[in-house]
Structure 1
Amino acid sequence: MKLRRACLGLVAGSMLMASPAASAGPALVFEPYNGTIFYAEDPDTLWYPASLTKLMTAYVAFQAIRDGEVTSETKVICSKKATLQAPTKLWLKEGESINLDTALKVLIVKSANDVAVMVAETVAGSEEAFIARMNEAAKRLGMTNSTFANPHGLPHDGQISTARDLARLARAIIIEFPEYADMFTVRSVQVKDKVLRSHNGMLVTLPGADGMKTGFICDSGFNIVVSATREGRKLVAIVLGEPSVASRRVRATDLLENGFKRYFWKSLFGTSLDGLAIQASMGSGPAKLREAICGAPRPAGTKRRRRRAIRKSEIELPRLDINKPVIIAHAN
Structure 2
Amino acid sequence: MPRRALLSFLVGAVLMAPSEVFAGPALVFEPYNGTVFYAEDPDALWFPASLTKLMTAYVAFEALKAGTVTPDTKLICSKEATEQAPSKLWLKEGESITLNVALKVLIVRSANDVAVMVAEGVAGSQEAFVARMNETAQHLGMTHTHYVNVNGLPQEGQVTTARDLAKLARAIIVVFPDHADLFSTEQVQVGKQVIRTHNRMLASFPGADGMKTGFICDSGFNIVASATRDGRKLVAVVLGEPSIVARTDLATDLLENGFKRYFWKSLFGTSLDGLMVQASLSDSPAHLHHSVCGVARPKSTRRHGIKSKLHGLNAQNSRQPARAVSARAEN
Q: What is the TM-score with the length of structure 2 in the denominator?
A: 0.85
**1:13: Cα distance to partner?**
4.3
Q: 1:16·1:38 contact (CA, 8 Å) conserved in 2?
A: no
**Would the alpha carbon gap of residues 11 and 52 (structure 1) be closer, same or farther in structure 2, given more than 3 Å must change?**
closer
**Alignment-derived partner of residue 167 in structure 2:** 168
Q: Distance in 1 between matches of 2:89 and 2:261?
A: 41
SS in 2 for 1:310: coil
Kindly provide the CA deviation profile for residues 271-323 of structure 1, in whole angstroms up to 9, marking residues without a partner as x: 1111001012121210000000000599xxxxxxxxx9613xx49xxxxxxxx
SS in 1 for 2:328: helix
Corresponding pairs, count:
294
**Alignment-derived partner of residue 274 in structure 2:** 275
Judge which range, 166-175 or 263-272, deviates more: 263-272
**Alignment-derived partner of residue 249 in structure 2:** 250
**Would the alpha carbon gap of residues 219 and 309 (structure 1) be closer, same or farther in structure 2, given more than 3 Å must change?**
closer
Q: Distance in 1 between matches of 2:179 and 2:273?
A: 25
**1:18: Cα distance to partner?**
10
Q: Distance in 2 between matches of 1:290 and 1:106?
A: 27
**Would the alpha carbon gap of residues 17 and 235 (structure 1) be closer, same or farther in structure 2, given more than 3 Å must change?**
farther
Give the counterpart letter for 1:75 in structure 2.
K
**Alignment-derived partner of residue 186 in structure 1:** 185
**Alignment-derived partner of residue 36 in structure 1:** 35
Q: 1:17·1:39 contact (CA, 8 Å) conserved in 2?
A: no
**1:268: Cα distance to partner?**
2.7
**Alignment-derived partner of residue 288 in structure 1:** 287
**1:28: Cα distance to partner?**
0.4
Q: 2:211·2:226 contact (CA, 8 Å) conserved in 1?
A: yes
Q: Distance in 1 between matches of 2:172 and 2:188?
A: 21
Q: 1:16·1:39 contact (CA, 8 Å) conserved in 2?
A: no
**1:181: Cα distance to partner?**
0.3
- Root-mean-square deviation (CA, aligned residues, Å) is 2.2
**1:14: Cα distance to partner?**
7.7
SS in 1 for 2:214: strand
Q: Distance in 1 between matches of 2:296 and 2:255?
A: 36
Kindly provide the CA deviation profile for residues 171-199 of structure 1, in whole angstroms up to 9, marking residues without a partner as x: 00000000000011110111000010100
**Alignment-derived partner of residue 197 in structure 1:** 196
Give the counterpart letter for 1:152 in structure 2.
N
SS in 2 for 1:210: strand
Give the counterpart letter for 1:126 in structure 2.
S
**Would the alpha carbon gap of residues 140 and 38 (structure 1) be closer, same or farther in structure 2, given more than 3 Å must change?**
same
Q: Distance in 2 between matches of 1:265 and 1:281?
A: 29
Alignment map for 1:137-148 (pairs within 5 Å): 137-148=136-147
Q: Distance in 2 between matches of 1:161 and 1:268?
A: 29
Is the aligned partner of 1:177 residue 2:173?
no
Q: Distance in 2 between matches of 1:16 and 1:207?
A: 30
**Alignment-derived partner of residue 51 in structure 2:** 52
Q: Distance in 2 between matches of 1:17 and 1:194?
A: 49
More helix as a share of residues: 1
Give the counterpart letter for 1:199 in structure 2.
H
Q: Distance in 2 between matches of 1:84 and 1:218?
A: 20
Q: 2:12·2:269 contact (CA, 8 Å) conserved in 1?
A: no
Judge which range, 83-92 or 273-282, deviates more: 273-282
Q: Distance in 1 between matches of 2:296 and 2:15?
A: 39
Q: 2:11·2:269 contact (CA, 8 Å) conserved in 1?
A: no
Kindly provide the CA deviation profile for residues 30-76 of structure 1, in whole angstroms up to 9, marking residues without a partner as x: 00001110000000000000000000000000000000110000001
**Alignment-derived partner of residue 103 in structure 1:** 102
Is the aligned partner of 1:216 residue 2:215?
yes
**Alignment-derived partner of residue 264 in structure 2:** 265
Which structure: larger Rg? 1
Is the aligned partner of 1:310 residue 2:309?
no
Q: 2:119·2:126 contact (CA, 8 Å) conserved in 1?
A: yes
